Amino acid sequence: MTTLYLIRHSIRFSNSDILEFKTTQPPLIQSEKSVLSVEGEKRAEVLASVEELQNIDVVYASNCVRTLQTAKYLLKAQNLPVTLDERLDERRFGEPNNDIYPDWFERQYLDENFKTVGGESQKDVRQRMNGALDEILKENAGKRIAVFSHGYAITFYLMQWYKLLNVDSEQKLTFEYKGKVVYDRKINAPEVFKLTLDDNNNVENIEVIDIDYDD
Single out the residue of 8, 1, 2, 43 nearest to residue 193, CA to CA: 8
**What are the φ/ψ torsions at residue 57 (nearest 5 degrees)?**
-95, -45
Average pLDDT over residues 152-170: 96
Q: What pLDDT does residue 117 have?
A: 87
Average pLDDT over residues 20-26: 63
pLDDT score of 21 more than 80: no
CA torsion sign for 183, 207, 106, 8 is: positive
Whether the Cβ atoms of residue 66 and residue 149 lie closer than 8 Å to each other? no
Q: What is the pLDDT of residues 167-200, one digit of tens each?
A: 998 999 999 999 999 999 999 999 999 999 999 9
Q: What pLDDT does residue 78 have?
A: 97
Average pLDDT over residues 139-164: 97
Q: What pLDDT does residue 18 have?
A: 58
Confidence class for position 61, pLDDT limits 50, 70, 90: very high
Single out the residue of 211, 163, 209, 215 nearest to residue 4, CA to CA: 209
Average pLDDT over residues 142-160: 97
Domain 2-13+24-209: which CATH number of 3.40.50.1240, 1.10.3470.10, 3.30.1490.20, 1.10.3720.10 = 3.40.50.1240
Whether the Cβ atoms of residue 61 and residue 84 lie closer than 8 Å to each other? yes
Q: What is the pLDDT of residues 69-111, one digit of tens each?
A: 999 999 999 999 999 999 999 999 888 777 888 899 999 999 9
Whether the Cβ atoms of residue 151 and residue 172 lie closer than 8 Å to each other? no
Q: What pLDDT does residue 113 have?
A: 97
Confidence class for position 46, pLDDT limits 50, 70, 90: very high
CA torsion sign for 67, 73, 78, 79 is: positive
Single out the residue of 116, 48, 112 nearest to residue 79, CA to CA: 48
E-assigned strands of 70-115? 83-84
The share of the chain scoring above pLDDT 70, in percent, equals 90
Whether the Cβ atoms of residue 62 and residue 148 lie closer than 8 Å to each other? yes
**What are the φ/ψ torsions at residue 176 (nearest 5 degrees)?**
-115, 140
pLDDT score of 19 more than 60: no
The share of the chain scoring above pLDDT 90, in percent, equals 79
